[in-house]
Amino acid sequence: MWRSLRRLATIALCCAALPASAAATDPAKELDLIKPNRQQPAKDFKVPALDGSGLRLKDLKGKVVFLNLWATWCPPCKEEMPAMERLWLKYKDRGLVVIALSMDSGGAKAVKPYIDHAKYTYPVGLDPKMEVAQLYGARSVPSTFIIDRGGMLRAIALGPREWDGQAAYAYIETLLVETLLLKDDRPRG
């Protein structure tokens, strides 16, 4: 009987501790991410890329998209970009796309020297008229919008973050796995 009571007490303590530990380790809270009040699709856009191609959001459906609005004249933007590169390198083969969307009014001429010197490899888009910033309601840089594989806006970060830290990795892992699980739940014919 004591063994059963001890087991029951252990289970009860573990269950009671779960909500507290889950809240304490919520990566979205740790990163101070803003979650939209209701699920909403991310707004589509098309911009020229620094490499001469084009970037269109709807072409990335099925990927987790990390859309970062930045500018070369913004020190906090430049501060977080190396961490974004490490995030990109860690998850690009698993379905993450990092897009650094420049708000520089000088376009490629202003952006290319900085990107080339820093040797960033993630896609860089150009939005010199700030049309995407207006579309997403961004009022400052850096601003980051995280979009799931289904094209839904999941989180917003205003200001720089430690994108190569454990909280960021855990958050991206969750989105990568969560949306894969959703795909696996579809009825098969």
Does residue 25 form part of some domain?
no
Find the CATH number of the domain harbouring 158: 3.40.30.10
* Digit-coded pLDDT (tens) for 114-147: 999 999 999 999 999 999 999 999 999 999 999 9
Check residue 35 and report its DSSP letter: P
Using N-to-C axis directions, what is the helix angle for 108-118 and 75-91, rounded to 10°? 60
User: pLDDT tens-digit profile of 1-33?
Assistant: 545 444 434 444 444 444 444 445 899 999 999
Tell me if 95 is assigned to some domain.
yes
| Domain annotation covers residue 127 | yes
pTM: 0.83
pLDDT of residue 178: 86
116 assigned to some structural domain: yes
Q: Is residue 15 part of a domain?
A: no
Strands (DSSP E) found in the chain? 40-41, 46-48, 54-56, 64-70, 96-102, 124-126, 143-147, 152-158
If one counts the domains in the chain, the total is 1
Q: How do residues 49-60 score in pLDDT, each as one tens digit?
A: 999 999 999 999
* Amino acid type, 2: W
In a domain, 103, yes or no: yes
Is the omega angle on the peptide bond into residue 128 within 30 degrees of 0, that is, cis? no
Collapsing DSSP to helix, strand or coil, 127 comes out as coil
16 belongs to a structural domain? no
User: Which residues touch 145 (CB under 8 Å, ≥6 apart)?
Assistant: 42, 65, 67, 69, 136, 153, 155, 156
Inter-residue contact 57 to 65 (CB < 8 Å): yes
| Tens-digit pLDDT profile for residues 101-120 | 999 999 999 999 999 999 99
Q: How many CB atoms lie within 10 A of CB 91?
A: 19
Instruction: Share the mean pLDDT of the chain.
Output: 88
Q: Which residues pair with 147 in a beta bridge?
A: 65, 153
Structural domain range at position 146: 35-184
